[in-house]
Copies of this chain bind each other. A is one copy, B any other.
Amino acid sequence: MKKTLIALGALSLSITPTLAQSNVPISLGAAADAALEGDEIAWNFVEGITTEVGPRQAGTEAEARARDWAMDWLDANGFANVANESFEMDTWVPGDVHRASVVAPYVQNLVVQPLGNSAATPEGGLEAEIVFFPTLDDLIAAPDGSLAGKIVYISHEMRPSMDGSHYGYYGGARFRGPGIAASKGAAAIVIKSIGTDEHRNPHTGTTRFPDGVAAIPAAAMSVPDAQNLERMFERAGDTPMTLNLELNPRRLGMTLSGNVVGEIVGSNPDLPPVLLACHIDSWWNAPGAFDDGAGCGIIAAAALNVSKTGQPLRTVRVLFAGAEEVGLWGSRAYSAAHIDEPIAVGLESDFGADRIWRFESNFRDTNPDLHIKIAKSIARYGVANSTIRASGGADLNISRDQKGAIIDLQQDGSRYFDLHHTPDDTLDKIDKNQLRQNVAVWTQVVGILANEPLPILTGGVKPSAPATMEQ
């Protein structure tokens, strides 16, 4: 009881307005605890970008508006060296006609949206028999040429999972299905949305056509519509089903995108910076609250909170990568441009806004003291230590390319695939308390990293010492 009272005392002290507004640095622990209690920075970012910008499809003027907005926000919040690092990309846009109708033996409109890189149908739609494949493997097993002129439909049984692992397991229907269907001669493809919700909002996302295989029209159908279509297949029995599909996406060719960066400058310019990454683009169909407005808000809030504890040793750099959704263009461009500038450690937030439950690094064996120090520091926020080797997210190409240190702060993804790439990825889905837990954990972790004087990946001290904490 006494311990609790002391902790509460320390906590309330840390958020006393007079102290918070003063220039007296607060301790890192107090800054992190204050974020848990009442962070408004991350919310301010994600509320702002979803409200004042909204959807921001990569390579378009909407993404450019998002960059401008983000740079203004970083400037207004005291970041240094705020910049837009431009790069060129091959841009696809979705168009505005996204229609699917079963026309025989029943008549009913179904809700679809195109997948990224989908080709367009003829105006008025492409009308053909639609053939049912329960899984991607069933499509793979179809004889070459057997689908000539037909529309392929692929189902799946994705379920929510905390670590999002079902996305990898079932996502192939989207990643690879269209290319496989096209290579077998299909005229078009519709997949059951790679998602776990029950709302009439399709889950888009990028698909890839192999070299030499021409793109075909490819769409995601909302989960309830896909279930309805499957009931039609069941009721139709041997009677062929005919679908009319109309999509008008198009390629714009090369356009400009950009990576937005900003810094909390460290006191020792000789030490490589700590890199915090997220992505600023979203799909056209949603304001991108979970994916990834929240992530950018979390990392920016953590950087600012660390600055409140006094100038860090290392520079903390935020990277709001451009054009992640459509093929990691920003992450690749950043790595290419900065490959010769050593990064101390990279971390990314890009899995929504629900609580962090697990900590992973790729230096647990080589720098166990630092790994354990970090793990211990965030155990109070309900974050478990892990033996899993961190590999980083989509926007950390530079850390992988440099074979540098990486930390993954794994978020609870149970709700993530309800919202991922759908119109429903809106601000109201964010649980402010869970968002604050993210900021608290990030503040604590980034604060330790930014004040670490020794190299992070190797540590150089006890490379093979065993971990002493429970897993």
Contact = CB atoms under 8 A, between A and B. Distances in A.
A227 B108 contact: no
A231 interface: yes
A11 interface: no
Contacts of A426: 198, 200, 224-225, 227-228
Contact of A424 (B50, B107, B224): B224
Interface in A394-431: 423-424, 426-429
A426 B228 CA distance: 9
Contact of A54 (B62, B108, B427, B428): B108
A235 to B, nearest CB: 6
Given A111-B423, A200-B426, A429-B198, A106 B228 contact: no
A198 B54 contact: no
Nearest to A229: B51
Contacts of A47: 231
A232 interface: yes
A52 B106 contact: yes
A235 B106 contact: no
Given A107-B65, A199-B201, A201-B199, A232 B51 contact: yes
Contacts of A200: 201, 423-424, 426
A52 to B, nearest CB: 5
Copy total for this chain: 2
B423 A228 contact: no
Contact of A51 (B51, B228, B428): B228
A297 interface: no
Nearest to A47: B231
A312 interface: no
Contacts of A139: none
Contact of A53 (B106, B198, B201): B106
A108 B287 contact: yes
Contact of A428 (B198, B235, B429): B198
Interface in A191-248: 198-201, 223-225, 227-228, 231-232, 235
Contact of A228 (B201, B225, B427): B427
A232 B111 CA distance: 28
A51 B231 contact: yes
Contacts of A65: 107
Given A111-B423, A199-B199, A52 B227 contact: no
A322 interface: no
A50 B429 CA distance: 29
A52 B198 CA distance: 20
Interface in A100-145: 106-109, 111
A424 B52 CA distance: 28
B55 A109 contact: yes
A224 B427 CA distance: 8
A163 B50 CA distance: 35
A184 B251 CA distance: 46
A450 B201 CA distance: 45
A99 B224 CA distance: 23
13 contacts: A51-B232, A53-B106, A53-B108, A54-B106, A198-B424, A198-B428, A199-B199, A200-B423, A200-B424, A200-B426, A223-B428, A227-B427, A228-B426
3 closest Cβ pairs, A-B complex = A54-B108, A224-B426, A200-B423
